[in-house]
Amino acid sequence: MAEAERIIGTPDVPGTAGAGPEQSDGNAASGDRSGSHESATGERSGTDSGADSGADGTSATDERPKGKRRIAVLFTVAVLAYALDLVSKMIVVAKLEHHDSIEIVGDWLKFEAIRNAGAAFGFGEAFTVIFTVIAAAVIVVIARLARKLYSLPWAIALGLLLGGALGNLTDRIFRSPGVFEGAVVDFIAPKHFAVFNLADSAIVCGGILIVLLSFRGLDPDGTVHRD
C-alpha cells in the first residue's frame, strides 16, 4: 500500500494547492487598490493646490495694474497746454493790451485783453492768494498721482489740468501787482459770457473728461469698477 502511494503520488488538496495563487492575487489586488487610492489622493491634492495657486495668481494679476504707466503722456499734454497758454498771453500782452478788441466772429467772439485777479472766468477777485494756493495744491496732487497712472484717458485729463494750473499759476507768481497776487491775462471774450484764456479752457476740458471717466467707472490705474 505504501509502495502504491509512493508510485501514484499524494493527491493534491484543493485548499492547499490554491492557497498560494489566491493569496498572491489578493495581495496584488490590495496593492492595486492602495496604489489607486494614493494616486487619486495625489491627483486631488495636486488639483486643489493648483486651483488655489491659480486663484491666488488670478487675484494677484487682477490687482496688479496692467500695461505701462502713462506719465510721459500726462507731462506731454501738460507741456503743450502750458506752452500754448504762455505764448498766447505773451502775444496778447505785446499786441493787444491797451488796444481795441479784435472781432473774430462779429460780436459773438472777440479777443480783448483784460487782467483778472480772480479765479477762472473772473470769479472771486477778492481771493487771489487762496486761488494761488489751490492751484499749487492741484499741481502737487497730480504729480503724486502720476506714479499710479496707467490709463491713457486719465493721463490726458490730468495733463490738461496740470498745464492749465501751471499757466495761471505762472501769472499769479510773476505778474503785477505782486508775487502770489498777480492778475491773470484773459483775452477770449464770447458774447454774454466771461472772458477767459487757454489755461481756463484746459482746466475745464480736463475736469469734464474726469467726470465722464468717473461715470464710466474707469480709475486712473486702468481698472474698471461697477457700482
Could you list the active site residues? Answer: 186, 200
Which helix (H) or strand (E) covers residue 36, if one does?
A: helix 14-63
Q: Which three cell numbers stand for residue 206?
A: 480736463
Say if CB 185 and CB 93 are below 8 A apart: yes
Q: Which three cell numbers stand for residue 11?
A: 493527491
Nearest to 154 by CA among 227, 106, 206: 206
Say if CB 112 and CB 118 are below 8 A apart: no
